[in-house]
Amino acid sequence: MRNRALLTAVLVAAAVGATTAATASTCPGHGGCGAERGAAATPKVTGPDRIRPGSKVRFRASGFSARKRIAIYLAPTRHRGGNCCSAPVKKRFRANRRGAAKLRFRVPRHWYFCAGISNCSRKRWRTGMKADLIACTTKDGCAIDTARIKKAKR
């Protein structure tokens, strides 16, 4: 089960990189143009500027299709667009009728650096490091918000 979660996280990171690269030239921001996807609004995620590993956080998502399941992942910003790194959040979220959702979860204390399906190492978040919250659906694509890591409570 752990390998499946890691594989999913790595594949989503790769998909986000492809989506970002494909839409960066024609659309501002990381979510791409809603017109290109046929959506009424561009997906967007907002939340705190600083997060602490091990603590509970709240983010808001909007612009997704109604009642769609939203998958979220945390990944180091310095590895954005790659397919190596992610911290899967083990919760499921669903957008409401307006396409919005409240994302409440505990920030994982570690993230995974994978050089292959069976070659993953666990890394700790470092104070001051930037992390991307990636929220994706199969229909609407992904939205990204960035937060800085605060010192973890021991």
Which residue type, as a one-letter code, is found at position 100? A
| pLDDT value for 23 | 38
In sequence order, the 6+-apart residues with CB closer than 8 A to the CB of 70 are: 61, 64, 93, 94, 95, 101, 103, 135, 136, 137
| pLDDT value for 153 | 75
Per-10-residue mean pLDDT for the chain, 154 residues long?
A: 48 47 39 44 95 96 96 94 88 94 95 90 95 93 96 78
| pLDDT value for 117 | 83
The helix or strand, by DSSP H or E, that contains position 143, with its residue range, turns out to be strand 141-149
The structure tokens 């509970």 sit at 56
| pLDDT value for 40 | 56
| pLDDT value for 116 | 85
| pLDDT value for 121 | 94
The helix or strand, by DSSP H or E, that contains position 16, with its residue range, turns out to be helix 2-24
| pLDDT value for 71 | 94
| pLDDT value for 66 | 95
In sequence order, the 6+-apart residues with CB closer than 8 A to the CB of 42 are: 29, 31, 32, 33, 34, 63, 143
In sequence order, the 6+-apart residues with CB closer than 8 A to the CB of 4 are: none
The DSSP string of 58-104 is EEEEESPPTT-EEEEEEEEGGGTTSSSEEEE----EE--TTS-EEEE
| pLDDT value for 133 | 95
| pLDDT value for 8 | 52
pTM across the whole model: 0.72
Report the alpha-carbon distance of residue 94 to residue 102 in Å, rounded: 9
Which residue type, as a one-letter code, is found at position 26? T
| pLDDT value for 92 | 87
